[in-house]
Amino acid sequence: MTGTTAMREDLYPSRKGAGPRILEREDRVVYAAWTPGAPLSQEQTRTYGRDGVLVLENLFTADEIRLLQREAAQLHRTWESFKEETAILEPGGQALRSVFAIHAQNDIFARLAADARLVKIARFLLRSEIYIHQSRLNYKPGFDGKDFYWHSDFETWHVEDGMARMRALSMSILLTENFPFNGPTMFIPGSHRRFISCVGETPDDHYRSSLRRQEYGVPDRGSLARLAEDGILMPTGEAGTTVIFDCNTLHGSNSNISPFPRSNVFFVYNAAVNRLEAPFGPAMPRPEWVASRTGIEIIQPVEGHLVPDAA
């Protein structure tokens, strides 16, 4: 494996050089050509390709969102029953931050991950069969929800997981209303077309600390300022709003010191042709519950309502 890894071309080297660099993206953003039968409109497709982020409203009905909210609240009360390590607490406290591999631990969120309304969009944008690279249920409690600094998910997935190419995307379904003051995710539109090569050698088992507070794979301030010159996008909206963003779009969020909690469910869809290889950084990959590597299951879209009796 060492020899194979050494011979691989690393198109996006990071955490290897003495200083940061901004590299040009070598991969497409929208892999399929738009046609009238696509699951997104031509304008939506153009927006996603240009900005690296797209906000969709009304994909789900009110009763579907209530079902997801009830389930998320129930899981929050019983989080200690989840598989070891998959429940992540806020840094410096005992408030629940995230539950990983949620699609593998809960039937309702597994059904949501396979929902045709999401899967067809992902398959179109990636032009590939897809599988879940990572999933999680995120909580940002009122008063105690901590910030998450600017980062590109792909930088971590590339260095620590071995995702070779930018052929993955994330979908975040809001489970509570996002206000400007309760720590919604912020994005730098257009940043997905550049790759910030970060500095600092990755420590072993970095995930144990990075899932609470990331310190390696963090872009430098100069590069961030340069890419943010055209502005920052902060989607807000009612529960049920779906935010789709490219794997390399820079994003982060502020602390939530308001009384109003914020939560969302987060699915990462990776192209089946882009399965993980050996990491480009540390010798040992992150665990399966953070980054799916073995036993990959291609997702088949499931049609219909999340609440069958209400369809």
What are the respective helix, strand and coil percentages of the chain, to the nearest 5? 30, 25, 50
Query: Considering the domain boundaries, does residue 177 fall inside one?
Result: yes
Query: Considering the domain boundaries, does residue 308 fall inside one?
Result: no
Task: Select from 124, 240, 83, 18 the least CA-distant residue to 75.
Answer: 83
Helices (H), the chain: 2-7, 42-51, 62-77, 102-105, 107-113, 116-126, 153-156, 207-210, 221-227
258: CATH: 2.60.120.620
Query: Considering the domain boundaries, does residue 304 fall inside one?
Result: no
Q: Is 239 a residue whose pLDDT tops 80? A: yes
Query: Considering the domain boundaries, does residue 228 fall inside one?
Result: yes
pLDDT at 176: 96
* Total residues found in the chain within this entry: 311
Query: Considering the domain boundaries, does residue 282 fall inside one?
Result: yes
In angstroms, the CA 231 to CA 228 distance is 5
Contacts for 297-301 with beta carbons within 8 Å, 24 or more apart?
297/131, 297/132, 298/129, 298/130, 298/131, 298/272, 299/113, 299/114, 299/119, 299/129, 299/130, 299/131, 299/132, 299/269, 300/114, 300/119, 301/114, 301/115, 301/116, 301/119, 301/120, 301/123
Query: Considering the domain boundaries, does residue 229 fall inside one?
Result: yes
Query: Considering the domain boundaries, does residue 272 fall inside one?
Result: yes
Q: What is the pLDDT of residues 35-81, one digit of tens each?
A: 999 999 999 999 999 999 999 999 999 999 999 999 999 998 888 88
In angstroms, the CA 224 to CA 29 distance is 20
Q: What is the pLDDT of residues 264-308, one digit of tens each?
A: 999 999 999 999 999 998 888 999 999 999 989 999 999 999 987
| Residue 171 amino acid letter | M
Q: What is the pLDDT of residues 167-201, one digit of tens each?
A: 999 999 999 999 999 999 999 999 999 999 998 87
Domain that holds residue 110: 2-299
Task: Select from 174, 147, 176 the least CA-distant residue to 257.
Answer: 147
**Is residue 123 helix, strand or coil?**
helix
In the chain, the number of structural domains is 1
Using an 8 Å Cβ cutoff, are 243 and 185 in contact? yes
Query: Considering the domain boundaries, does residue 273 fall inside one?
Result: yes
Write b or e for each residue in 132-142: b if 16 or more Cβ atoms lie within 10 A of its Cβ, otherwise e.
bbbbbbbbbbe
Using an 8 Å Cβ cutoff, are 188 and 249 in contact? yes
In angstroms, the CA 228 to CA 221 distance is 10
Two structure tokens written together for 187: 């994005």
Confidence of residue 5 (pLDDT cuts 50, 70, 90): very low
Mean pLDDT confidence for 158-168: 97
DSSP state of 157: I
